[in-house]
Structure 1
Amino acid sequence: MPRFLAVYTMRHEDFERFRAMPKAEQDAVDTLGVQQWAAWEERHAGSILDKGGMVGKTMRVNRDEIAPATNTLCGYLVVEAETIGDAARIFETHPHITTFPGDGIDIMPIVTDPAP
């Protein structure tokens, strides 16, 4: 079955706005969101191949240097589905975009075969 990489994105200004909220409000969102995330994973366990994880600050390597960089990527996971549309529908109500301040989830087909 086809595999898809799902990449969680979050704009820096949305994250900063969330962190500017009173601590009690942040904690309430975190508590609710973590519960919802676990329930989402349970509902979709049959499609999840790799739970991935959340990621931190970026270090970019290019031809000229290795240096800190910024982007909106904040996490990933891998699912399997018949089509990219089916994969996308798995994430329609994901807490990353319904509870947490995430701005989107990008779904991309993995076009190479898995390692043996």
Structure 2
Amino acid sequence: MKRFLAVFLGSPASMDAWKALPESERNRREADGMKAWGDWVRKHEAAFVDHGSPLGKTKRIAAKGIGDVRNELAAWTVVEAESHDAAASMFEGHPHFSIFPGDAVEVMECLPMPEG
């Protein structure tokens, strides 16, 4: 089995639109979304290597120094699957973008570190 990192993405515009919803609507969608997310996790439980977590604010470190940035990274998880396509298919219709304001999930293989 290969390991794959899944990164949940959400644009700042999507998050701003979510925050603009009435609180009652956000609460309803959040409850529906968390139930659907839990159902999705149970369906794919055997594939999880690390359930991951939501991601907080970002600092970018570059040659010129450290600064605050806003990006699309929202959460991550690590799964195992036979192939890249099999891993990707697990996220089709995921509540991250079907209920929550997330825009996409990107899935990439975790490659072995080169020796040396």
Same fold (TM over 0.5): yes
RMSD between aligned alpha carbons? 0.8
State the TM-score, normalized to the length of structure 2.
0.95
State the TM-score, normalized to the length of structure 1.
0.95
Q: For 1:112, what is the secondary structure of its paired residue?
A: coil
Q: What is residue 101 of structure 1 aligned with on the other side? A: 101
Q: What is residue 21 of structure 1 aligned with on the other side? A: 21
What is the percentage of aligned positions where both structures have the same residue?
35
Structure 2 runs not aligned, ≥5 long: none
Structure 1 runs not aligned, ≥5 long: none
> C-alpha deviations, 1:5-32, integer Å up to 9, x for none?
0000001111100110100000000000
CA distance in 1, matches of 2:62, 2:26: 36
Q: What is residue 68 of structure 1 aligned with on the other side? A: 68
> C-alpha deviations, 1:84-114, integer Å up to 9, x for none?
100000000210011101000000000026x
Mapping 1:1-116, distance limit 5 Å: 1-112=1-112
Aligned length: 113
**How far does residue 62 in structure 1 lie from its aligned partner after superposition?**
1.1
CA distance in 2, matches of 1:86, 1:63: 39
**Structure 1 residue runs of 4 or more that deviate by more than 2 Å after TM superposition:** none
